[in-house]
Amino acid sequence: MSDNKERIEKIIKLFNEQDIYPFPYNDIAEIETELNDEFNKYASDEIIKADLNTYWMFIAGLASGGINSRLIDVVDRYKTKKWLEKSFFDWFPKYRFMERYDFSDYEMFNYTYQLYENLRIMLLDVIKFDEQRIQ
């Protein structure tokens, strides 16, 4: 890809075409039930639905075109990069116990998680490309 405009257009297109599922409430409820003991042990006072929503909506805002405004200001770009460098488990470390599980049986959750992870990495690449261009 020759420039960031094309990269950003690809991200927006991917987001618009692939964000097809509603928030996976049922899958998350089933995961919470399946991992009940670990949720009680490591994240008893946490609300994973709210935390996932917060994380995914941060990425969605950028992937729907918001990344453009974050590239203009050096401070905004830096802060956005720092947040994008973090996975969901870095944002919310109490859920790290989930990293060792395979959630492929939870189609909506798995699809959504993978989509937003791919978007996060693509957005981070946009910022890194922009930083290289400036230097």
Domain count, the chain: 1
Q: What is the pLDDT along the chain (135 residues), one digit of tens a residue?
A: 458 899 999 999 999 999 888 999 999 999 999 999 999 999 999 999 999 999 999 999 999 999 999 999 999 999 999 999 999 999 999 999 999 999 999 999 999 999 999 999 999 999 999 888 776
How far does CA 83 lie from the centroid of its chain?
10
**What is the span of the domain harbouring residue 113?**
4-134
- Whose CA is closest to 112, among 26, 9, 2? 26
